A and B are shown apart, each in its own frame.
Chain A
């Protein structure tokens, strides 16, 4: 990678596993060491602007590192789809080609066209300021719910813009960043054989979420006031508690049973299923009751409404149970290689 002739040139040169030191060199040959977490923001923004101007020049700007969003087949449609996209740092998104299967690099033929050759792949990437995505910043960011949300939504927006056009993608996990584009190529090429079958599998499919809640009947918390039976206040209270507890347990049992039945039904409508942990905690927000199961299904895209309707219908009228279907999602939950490598 050659340096650019920009006025300020910053070089992230250490291993990210350790402290990141950055050289900021002005044209005057004066050299200043700056901690990457301080003071670089404006420089990076300037470089970003310059980079936009030079959008055609395929060249690393050293203050930027590369954020990778997804892997997809390299097609003209994919290239068009990313053209107007902006990423987690507001940066322009582009396709980074890799996985050219030209043996020995000698053929030079158009990639992906030959029928006997697997399609060429590309990563959806964007340059982000190193200062915002180095280890220290990420640590801080991941502990900051606002940052996490903004980053997650921006990542998702890029992915969703592609799947929204019917382009099959394998989304990457949040905050997959590389020092430069060469590193992206290098890493992804090594996983090429994983990506192709995964891409084939998700093509024409979407992910749907099914969340099942135990929703105890709160309408009748105290169905038979205990007064008439001559129970004291304390006993009445305890009796009420027992009833409520039973109702909660019943709801849990009902929801668990329903979850099992719905899984069976959904399994016949879907290609695959992944179970997430039930959702707990503040982020779960206003829920009808405890979340009993939280699954993702890979569903043929022309069966989405059928899936939704039949799953919701199967749960309808069941007391103590509430079912939510979310999505369609990009196949986040089905982008992991099937066989776990120990």
Chain B
């Protein structure tokens, strides 16, 4: 199967990327994934830059196995 869409090497805005990487993606319980699932630290410390991302990530949380 081939695809015309050039996913790679395409400049993407960090905020769009963080929307997806912090709110999307398969959430599985990694040994450390709690660091991301428990986004308190992100919410607190990156509030100025990615507040909506962090807030939503909290909503999006993960179910344990």
Cβ-defined contact, B15 with A134, below 8 A: no
Cβ-defined contact, B3 with A335, below 8 A: no
Contact with A along B8-43 (1 / 0, CB 8 A): 111011111111111111111111111110000110
Which residue of the partner chain, among B4, B13, B28, B46, contacts A142 with CB atoms under 8 Å?
Answer: B46
Cβ-defined contact, B31 with A145, below 8 A: no
Cβ-defined contact, B31 with A172, below 8 A: no
| Among listed A31-39, A53-61, A100-108, A272-280, interface-contacting one | A272-280
Which residue of the partner chain, among B16, B27, B52, contacts A277 with CB atoms under 8 Å?
Answer: B52
Answer whether A177 and B7 are a contact pair too, CB < 8 Å, given A71-B26, A281-B50: no
Q: Which A residues lie within 8 Å of B28 (CB)? A: 172-173, 176, 187-188, 191
- Complex formed: what's the CA distance from A71 to B55 in Å? 26
- Complex formed: what's the CA distance from A172 to B26 in Å? 4
Q: Which A residues lie within 8 Å of B33 (CB)? A: 173, 175-177
Q: Which A residues lie within 8 Å of B52 (CB)? A: 277-281
Which residue of the partner chain, among B1, B26, B34, B47, contacts A335 with CB atoms under 8 Å?
Answer: B26
Q: Which B residues lie within 8 Å of A178 (CB)? A: 30-32
Q: Which A residues lie within 8 Å of B56 (CB)? A: 276-277
The interface on chain A, measured as residues whose beta carbon lies within 8 A of the other chain's beta carbons, has a size of 75
A297 beta carbon closer than 8 Å to chain B:
no
Distance from B25 Cβ to chain A, minimum over Cβ atoms (Å):
4
Q: Which B residues lie within 8 Å of A326 (CB)? A: 12-13, 16
Cβ-defined contact, B24 with A171, below 8 A: yes
Which of chain A's residues has its CB closest to B33's CB? A176
Answer whether A283 and B25 are a contact pair too, CB < 8 Å, given A174-B36, A328-B5: no
Answer whether A143 and B32 are a contact pair too, CB < 8 Å, given A174-B25, A279-B19: no
Which of chain B's residues has its CB closest to A130's CB? B32
Which residue of the partner chain, among A175, A283, A334, contacts B35 with CB atoms under 8 Å?
Answer: A175
A44 beta carbon closer than 8 Å to chain B:
no
Cβ-defined contact, B3 with A165, below 8 A: yes
Q: Which B residues lie within 8 Å of A294 (CB)? A: 19
Number of A-B contacts (CB under 8 A): 188
| Among listed A154-162, A214-222, A229-237, A313-321, interface-contacting one | A154-162
- Complex formed: what's the CA distance from A58 to B53 in Å? 38
Distance from B11 Cβ to chain A, minimum over Cβ atoms (Å):
10
Contact with B along A133-154 (1 / 0, CB 8 A): 1110011001101001100110
Cβ-defined contact, A164 with B7, below 8 A: yes
- Complex formed: what's the CA distance from A219 to B54 in Å? 35
Cβ-defined contact, A16 with B32, below 8 A: yes
- Complex formed: what's the CA distance from A209 to B20 in Å? 10
Cβ-defined contact, A163 with B32, below 8 A: no
Answer whether A282 and B32 are a contact pair too, CB < 8 Å, given A139-B41, A152-B18: no
Cβ-defined contact, B17 with A173, below 8 A: no
Which of chain A's residues has its CB closest to B37's CB? A173
Mark B residues whose CB is within 8 Å of A.
1-10, 12-36, 41-42, 45-53, 55-56, 60, 63, 65
Add 8 more A-B contacts to A173-B36, A188-B28 (CB < 8 A).
A135-B32, A139-B35, A145-B49, A187-B28, A187-B65, A209-B19, A281-B52, A342-B63
Mark A residues whose CB is within 8 Å of B.
16-17, 65, 68, 71, 133-135, 138-139, 142-143, 145, 148-149, 152-153, 155-157, 160-161, 163-166, 170-179, 183, 187-188, 190-191, 194-195, 198, 204, 206-207, 209, 274, 276-285, 294, 296, 301, 304, 326, 328-330, 332-336, 340-342
A-B contact pairs, 24 of them (CB 8 A): A16-B31, A134-B32, A135-B35, A142-B45, A148-B18, A152-B14, A164-B3, A173-B26, A174-B36, A175-B35, A187-B29, A187-B30, A190-B65, A194-B26, A198-B26, A209-B16, A209-B19, A277-B52, A280-B52, A281-B51, A333-B23, A335-B26, A336-B26, A336-B27
